[in-house]
Amino acid sequence: MAKGPWSILGAAVPSQEPEAIQRRYRNSFLALAAIFGPLAVIVIGIQLKYGDISLVYQKVFESLTALGLKKGLPIWVPAAVALLIPCVLIATLFHAAPLVLVWWEQKIAAHVQIRMGPMRVGRFHGILQTVADGIKLLLKEDIVPAGADKWVHLLAPVVVVVPAYVAYAPLTFGRGLVGTDLDTGTLFVMAVSGLSTIGLLMAGWGSNNKYSALGGLRAAAQVVSYEIPRVISLLPVVMWAGTLSLSGIAQAQEGLWAGFLPRWFIFYPFVGQVAYLIFLICTVAETNRVPFDIAEAESELVSGFNTEYSGMKFALFFMAEYAYVFLGAAVGTALFFGGGAAPWRFLNFIPSYVWFFGKTCAQVFFIILFRWTYPRMRVDRLMEFCWKFLLPWSLVNVAVAGALILWRMR
């Protein structure tokens, strides 16, 4: 207790008895172990006994379908269910990811800033804080400012969120775990996630607020600019793998380089690292987060494009931001970190989706960490950085990648 700068003024009086705190932590740890221990055993057991979860799902689904058809089930029912199940799973993930990420961000921020963060709701380290916040936002009054363009104001959050939903469709969450395995997956994700800009612009315009308008314009300029180096930074991966499909690219990265290094594109000499760096920077910029959060820019534009939003509409913007953070990290995992593949063969007993989420969360951690360590860039310097630095280097990267690939093909 009596450590750190506060101890200058003598030992602090703890609010709770140390034994009570320790007991509480022990109980929490035991509860977590009771939940996650059996879960891990089941997950690894299934993986070892039956193979990938997608194969298990397929087997179960086929046998159930055969049984149903024998009993006289209409043929369209299994087809509909086959469509519905991935949709429901992706929608659940889409809603669950922000809940977890917001809590996680609060905790990371707190620990960076020598605080505790949420500690009360849900008994264990405020684990239910985001749920409580979500309920609060749901119950809040929905305020439409006087003079606002009502329909534009209403539709803006929808236009922001829907592309985020759609962009999750071709993501490969592990071996065989994919909503719809598009051949143009990479292109699709990039194109659809760019659509959200329209929503930000609508929010800025529809609010009848000068700060919102400035924020919306900033967002549009920024996202459109950063889209270009972001897409170009992905070209080397596509050239190397020879496919645009996310699962195809993940498959191309299976194996080892030089006998010990995982065959992930991030380890491709020079090109891989430069491409990933540009991609990571652009992802942070695309999601409007510090140091590129000029569209929200709390200290300048109050809250930018979402200044005039409250309640669930605001929550939708919030959700979209975290959904995009997760999406960006997931695309990074698929393209640069071998998707759901284990780095080495002996680690294959851990299921591919665990690898996928692990790698994704590691990137999300860095994206969150940026926010709590960097100041914000200025709008014109931001554009300069994009057009004069990132874009030329991403083009150079493509040229070098092309030369390397040609040279290796000979």
Partner 1 sequence: MTADLKSPAGIMNAPADSLVSGPSFETRMEKISDHEMLLNMGPQHPSTHGVLRVVLKVNGEVVLGAVPDVGYLHRGVEKLAENRNYQQFIILTDRDDYLCAMMNNWGYCLAVERLMKVEVPQRAEYIRVIVGELNRIASHLVFIGTFGIDMGAFTPFLYAFGREREIVLDLYEKLCGARITYNYVRIGGVSHDLAEGWIDQAKKFVAHMKGCLKEYDDLLSYNPIFMDRTKGVGVLTREKALSYGVAGPNLRASGVASDLRKLDPYGIYSKFEFDIPTGERGDCFDRYMVRRNEIEQSCRILEQALENVPSGDILGKVAKFNLRPPAGESYSQVEGARGWLGYYIVSDGGVAPYRLHVRAPSFINLAVLQEILKGWKVADVVAILGSIDIVLGEVDR
- Return residues touching partner 1 (CB under 8 A): 5-6, 8-10, 109, 112-115, 210-211, 214, 217, 290-291, 293-294, 297-302, 372-381
Q: Least distance from C-beta 3 to partner 1, angstroms?
A: 13
Please state whether the peptide bond connecting residue 78 to the residue before it is cis, i.e. omega within 30 degrees of 0: no
CB-wise, 18 or 375, nearer to partner 1? Answer: 375
CB-wise, 9 or 139, nearer to partner 1? Answer: 9
Q: Least distance from C-beta 157 to partner 1, angstroms?
A: 22
CA distances from 204 to 290, 379, 383 (A): 19, 16, 20
CB-wise, 70 or 299, nearer to partner 1? Answer: 299
Q: Least distance from C-beta 332 to partner 1, angstroms?
A: 22
Q: Least distance from C-beta 274 to partner 1, angstroms?
A: 19
Query: How many CB atoms neighbour CB 194 within 10 A?
Result: 18
Do residues 363 and 332 make contact, with C-beta atoms less than 8 angstroms apart? yes
Task: List, in order, residues 6 or more apart from 74 with CB less than 8 Å away.
Answer: none
CB-wise, 4 or 72, nearer to partner 1? Answer: 4
259-267, long-range: CB within 8 Å, 24+ apart, which pairs? 262/338, 262/341, 262/343, 262/344, 263/338, 264/336, 264/337, 264/338, 264/343, 265/236, 265/237, 265/240, 265/241, 265/335, 265/336, 265/338, 266/336, 266/337
Q: Least distance from C-beta 241 to partner 1, angstroms?
A: 34
Do residues 126 and 118 make contact, with C-beta atoms less than 8 angstroms apart? yes
Q: Least distance from C-beta 383 to partner 1, angstroms?
A: 11
- Token pair for residue 185? 């997956």
Q: Least distance from C-beta 293 to partner 1, angstroms?
A: 7
CB-wise, 5 or 259, nearer to partner 1? Answer: 5
H or E element that contains 286: helix 271-286
DSSP labels for 248-269? HHHHHT-SEETTTEE--GGGST
Taking the C-alpha atoms of residue 93 and residue 167, their distance in angstroms, rounded to an integer, is 13
CB-wise, 133 or 293, nearer to partner 1? Answer: 293
Taking the C-alpha atoms of residue 170 and residue 163, their distance in angstroms, rounded to an integer, is 12
CB-wise, 59 or 111, nearer to partner 1? Answer: 111
Q: Least distance from C-beta 376 to partner 1, angstroms?
A: 3
Taking the C-alpha atoms of residue 336 and residue 274, their distance in angstroms, rounded to an integer, is 11
Taking the C-alpha atoms of residue 329 and residue 299, their distance in angstroms, rounded to an integer, is 27
Indicate the burial class of 9 (C-beta count within 10 angstroms; 0-12, 13-18, 19 or more): exposed
CB-wise, 171 or 379, nearer to partner 1? Answer: 379
Taking the C-alpha atoms of residue 386 and residue 328, their distance in angstroms, rounded to an integer, is 18
Indicate the burial class of 43 (C-beta count within 10 angstroms; 0-12, 13-18, 19 or more): middle
3-state secondary structure of 99: helix
Q: Least distance from C-beta 283 to partner 1, angstroms?
A: 18
Q: Least distance from C-beta 292 to partner 1, angstroms?
A: 10
Q: Least distance from C-beta 47 to partner 1, angstroms?
A: 41
